[in-house]
């Protein structure tokens, strides 16, 4: 949920067909909607003023500022008998599709592509009982789940194929891996879908180990960013060499020597990453020829960027655990006229 103060309401006269057209023009002309400096500025502003009752100022794409009130610990009515409880503030990165969505224009300025949201709980007004509690997996459940799936993944044909593919890659300058939105680790279950997060973490752990093995002792870092991580996730992942970073430090780590892994995130990771860097390798959901309505959408600009700079092969992992992923490898000396060729 996003909260702006009355000053932001004064900007509603700017939310017009002219403003929307201008935002579309900026995007089509290649204007960067996300930069590290701008993301870092929002992060620093939130650190300075992120206490309840304070206001965080965020610069829009037009150079003007919106203010977002920090409300954690506060509450408001939801419906009869229930109320919202505002939890910690989080940074939201909106896609070009979100900015231009006719159903959303009017709620905020189309120039405001970085906003502050709050996680929400609902509780009974009378009993104050939380009606949508979040189950937190225990430390032991996280340890067992990740250990079990790591063994299964390393024994799989999928990992053997991926390991072989990576072994064929040459002249790649890689010094870190950054994973986004892999989710909190759930207790191991018989149902495949329940083990998605564990298998996705097994992927980055095994890739990190492979990179260290082939880099002759170079210090290859491995980071993961997801606001949904619990303290148990953080503790167990640390034992496997994965450092959990708060949002947006993962984005600030991404550069041209990074492997990026992002699997079905609920923010526009593709559009953020393609604006701030040209990573050496990217593993994320397949970029489609037509934009899909989702939380991490493709776009014509993203497709042009991928076609210009990357070759690719299909990720060999189980669809139930990973979905439809593709591995994109930066092409040396790529130009805007280059085309993607499959390595499969």
Model pLDDT for residues 132-165, shown as the tens digit of each residue: 777 889 999 999 999 999 999 999 999 999 999 9
More confident residue, 342 or 23: 23
Q: Is residue 247 part of a domain?
A: yes
Q: Is residue 261 part of a domain?
A: yes
pLDDT above 70 (res 3)? no
Domain shared by 114 and 222, yes or no: no
In angstroms, the CA 136 to CA 122 distance is: 17
Domain shared by 112 and 148, yes or no: no
C-beta separation of 181 from 310 below 8 A:
no
Model pLDDT for residues 164-181, shown as the tens digit of each residue: 999 888 777 899 999 999
pLDDT above 50 (res 339)? no
Residues in the chain: 344
Domain shared by 242 and 291, yes or no: yes
pLDDT at position 229 is 96
pLDDT at position 199 is 97
C-beta separation of 278 from 330 below 8 A:
yes
Q: Which residues contact 95 (CB under 8 A, 6 or more apart)?
A: 268, 271, 295, 296, 297, 299
Structural domain of residue 78, as residue ranges? 6-124
Average pLDDT taken over every residue of the chain: 89
In angstroms, the CA 35 to CA 252 distance is: 9
Closest by CA to 286, choosing from 340, 329, 326, 344, is 326
pLDDT above 70 (res 231)? yes
Q: Is residue 229 part of a domain?
A: yes
More confident residue, 100 or 249: 249
Please identify, among 124, 150, 171, the residue that sits at the C-terminal boundary of a domain: 124
In angstroms, the CA 203 to CA 208 distance is: 9
Please identify, among 79, 100, 124, the residue that sits at the C-terminal boundary of a domain: 124
Domain shared by 79 and 199, yes or no: no
What average pLDDT score do residues 192-209 get?
95
The helix/strand/coil state of 250 is helix
Residue 7's pLDDT band (cuts 50, 70, 90):
very low
Domain shared by 201 and 81, yes or no: no
Model pLDDT for residues 45-97, shown as the tens digit of each residue: 999 999 999 999 999 999 999 999 999 888 887 677 888 899 989 999 999 99
Domain shared by 74 and 46, yes or no: yes
Cα angle 193, 167, 239 (rounded to 5 degrees) comes to: 55
Model pLDDT for residues 300-320, shown as the tens digit of each residue: 999 999 999 999 999 999 999
What average pLDDT score do residues 270-277 get?
97
Model pLDDT for residues 90-107, shown as the tens digit of each residue: 999 999 999 988 777 667
Domain shared by 233 and 111, yes or no: no
The helix/strand/coil state of 342 is strand
Model pLDDT for residues 9-43, shown as the tens digit of each residue: 445 545 577 888 999 999 999 999 999 999 999 99
In angstroms, the CA 344 to CA 315 distance is: 9
- Give me the number of domains the chain comprises: 2
Q: Is residue 342 part of a domain?
A: no
User: Which residue in the block uniquely carries the two structure tokens 């040459």?
Assistant: 170
Domain shared by 81 and 149, yes or no: no
Please identify, among 124, 159, 194, the residue that sits at the C-terminal boundary of a domain: 124
Q: Is residue 1 part of a domain?
A: no
CA distances from 248 to 13, 38, 237 (A): 31, 11, 19
pLDDT at position 133 is 79
Q: Is residue 132 part of a domain?
A: no
Closest by CA to 122, choosing from 69, 73, 86, is 86
Residue 217's pLDDT band (cuts 50, 70, 90):
low
Domain shared by 195 and 56, yes or no: no
CA distances from 132 to 84, 120, 128, 137, 231 (A): 10, 9, 12, 16, 20
Closest by CA to 247, choosing from 136, 117, 120, is 117
Domain shared by 71 and 153, yes or no: no
Q: Is residue 335 part of a domain?
A: no
Q: Is residue 149 part of a domain?
A: yes
pLDDT at position 341 is 33
* CATH number of the domain enclosing 287: 3.40.50
Q: Which residues contact 150 (CB under 8 A, 6 or more apart)?
A: 202, 205, 206, 240
Domain shared by 227 and 312, yes or no: yes
Domain shared by 320 and 232, yes or no: yes
């Amino acid at each position: 949920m996003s909260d702006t103060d009355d000053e932001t309401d004064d900007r509603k006269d700017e939310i017009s067909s002219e403003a929307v057209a201008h935002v579309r023009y900026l995007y089509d002309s290649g204007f960067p909607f996300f930069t590290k400096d701008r993301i870092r500025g929002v992060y620093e502003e939130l650190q300075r003023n992120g206490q309840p009752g304070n206001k965080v100022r965020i610069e829009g794409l037009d150079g003007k500022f919106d203010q977002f009130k920090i409300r954690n610990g506060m509450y408001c009515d939801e419906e009869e008998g229930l109320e919202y409880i505002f939890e910690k503030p989080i940074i939201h990165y909106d896609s070009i599709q979100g900015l231009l969505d006719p159903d959303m224009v009017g709620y905020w300025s189309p120039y405001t592509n970085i906003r502050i949201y709050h996680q929400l709980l609902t509780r009974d007004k009378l009993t104050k009982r939380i009606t949508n509690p979040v189950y937190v997996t225990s430390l032991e459940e996280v340890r067992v789940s990740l250990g079990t799936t790591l063994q299964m993944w390393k024994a799989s044909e999928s990992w053997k194929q991926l390991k072989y593919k990576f072994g064929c890659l040459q002249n790649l300058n890689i010094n870190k891996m950054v994973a986004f939105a892999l989710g909190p680790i759930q207790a191991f279950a018989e149902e495949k879908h329940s083990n998605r997060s564990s298998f996705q973490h097994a992927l980055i752990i095994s890739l990190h180990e492979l990179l260290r093995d082939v880099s002759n002792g170079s210090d290859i870092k491995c980071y993961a960013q997801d606001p949904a991580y619990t303290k148990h996730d953080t503790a167990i992942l640390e034992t496997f060499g994965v450092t959990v970073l708060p949002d947006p430090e993962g984005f600030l780590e991404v550069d041209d020597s990074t492997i990026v892994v992002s699997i079905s995130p609920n923010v526009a990771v593709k559009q953020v990453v393609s604006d701030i860097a040209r990573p050496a390798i990217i593993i994320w959901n397949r970029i489609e020829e037509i934009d899909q309505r989702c939380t991490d959408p493709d776009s014509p600009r993203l497709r042009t960027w991928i076609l210009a700079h990357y070759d690719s092969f299909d990720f060999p992992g189980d669809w139930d655990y990973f979905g439809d992923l593709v591995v994109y490898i930066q092409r040396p000396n790529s130009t805007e006229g280059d085309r993607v060729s499959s390595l499969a």
